[in-house]
Amino acid sequence: MQGLAWLGFAVGIALLLLTGSSVIKTLLIPRNLSSAIGTVMARLVLAVYRLRTAKIDDVHRRERILATDTPLRMPG
């Protein structure tokens, strides 16, 4: 049980470091850099949108739904 606690601690520290790195890259560095968290989240959001719109035959309805995808992925 203690091994599982240490594993959770290590995963938490890794997430903390990734988040800190993402914040620094986003706010402090004035050039276009992508972060691991931003890239993963952008791909996840796109996958969910594609899965959700896969069975919609009406092109206009599908495009209207997919148009809301871009603002969600821009921070990444």
Structure tokens at 26: 């986003």
Domain count, the chain: 1
Structural domain harbouring 66: 2-73
pTM of the predicted model, to two decimals?
0.52
Which tens digits make up the pLDDT trace of 61-76?
988 888 888 777 665 5
Using CA atoms, how far apart are residues 57 and 31, in angstroms rounded to an integer? 40
The conformation of residue 15, written as its DSSP 8-state character, comes to H
Helix (H, G, I), strand (E, B) or coil at 59: helix
Which tens digits make up the pLDDT trace of 40-58?
888 888 899 889 889 989 9
Structure tokens at 8: 């959770």
Residue 8 has pLDDT above 90, yes or no: yes
Helix (H, G, I), strand (E, B) or coil at 30: coil
